[in-house]
A and B are shown apart, each in its own frame.
Chain A
């Protein structure tokens, strides 16, 4: 079965410090991996994705993520956190199952950037 794990319900980081939001996945085929961000009272917004190619993916707002096949991880990172980065972050995996692309979302990680 396809699954995504976000082991931390909440991550707290001081403004200006680097941040990491963890994600691991399990799929039987080749994964497509995504990060979405949700601000309060808003829908999910796409941040970045890994489909193929370079393992380090750069996305919106200075975020990046590294695909690690051996560790089945796709951690979200940013070198210097901003207060405005505080939001709910979702990791998602998509793979071909039964002839269609099935998408599974993680449970979300709340990022709190402390001024």
Chain B
């Protein structure tokens, strides 16, 4: 079974709709991240969380919100989707200091029409 799972894997939505992307992990890691991937831009950090009560904005947080429901769950919401939020979204986890490697989910491909 995958250590980091994301649902849905693919989603098509319309401009103005609210959408939630979910991430779950079984690695027991404290740190969780949401990135978006766009061609030619690499991965850009949207939000990150060091634990359930510690949530921080990344480089491109505008238009997004997150919720850390439990250590194992970290959700990303688009309150009112717009077409330039069409991208591939990845969730990642990392352990504490000394465990710098990040572990990525399989990604969610989002298309906003």
Q: B residues 23-45 with Cβ under 8 Å of A?
A: 35, 40-45
- Chain A positions within 8 Å of B90 at CB level: 43-44
Q: Is the CB of A46 within 8 A of B42?
A: no
Q: Which of A12-20, A76-84, A101-109 contacts B (4 or more CB under 8 A)?
A: A101-109
- Chain B positions within 8 Å of A106 at CB level: 42
Does A26 have its Cβ within 8 Å of any Cβ on chain B?
no
- Tell me what chain B mostly uses at the interface: helix, strand, loop, or mixed: strand
Interface size on B, residues (CB 8 A): 20
**Chain A: which residue is nearest B101 at the CB level?**
A46
- Chain B positions within 8 Å of A9 at CB level: 40
> How many A-B residue contacts, CB cutoff 8 Å?
45
Alpha-carbon separation in the docked complex, A101 to B41 (Å): 21
Does B47 have its Cβ within 8 Å of any Cβ on chain A?
no
Known: A43-B107, A44-B90, A100-B50. A32 touches B42 (CB 8 A): no
Does A63 have its Cβ within 8 Å of any Cβ on chain B?
no
Alpha-carbon separation in the docked complex, A85 to B42 (Å): 19
What is the size category of the interface that chain A forms with chain B? 20 to 34
Alpha-carbon separation in the docked complex, A4 to B33 (Å): 19
- Chain A positions within 8 Å of B40 at CB level: 9, 107
Known: A90-B43, A107-B42. A43 touches B105 (CB 8 A): yes
A41, A49, A100: the one within 8 Å of B101 (CB) = A49
Chain B, 87-113, contact with A by CB distance < 8 Å: what is the 0/1 string? 000101000010011111111000000
Q: A46-B102, A51-B100, A94-B100 are in contact. List 18 more A-B contacts (CB 8 A).
A: A34-B100, A36-B104, A41-B106, A41-B107, A42-B106, A43-B106, A44-B92, A46-B101, A46-B103, A49-B101, A90-B42, A101-B97, A103-B45, A105-B43, A105-B44, A106-B42, A107-B42, A108-B42
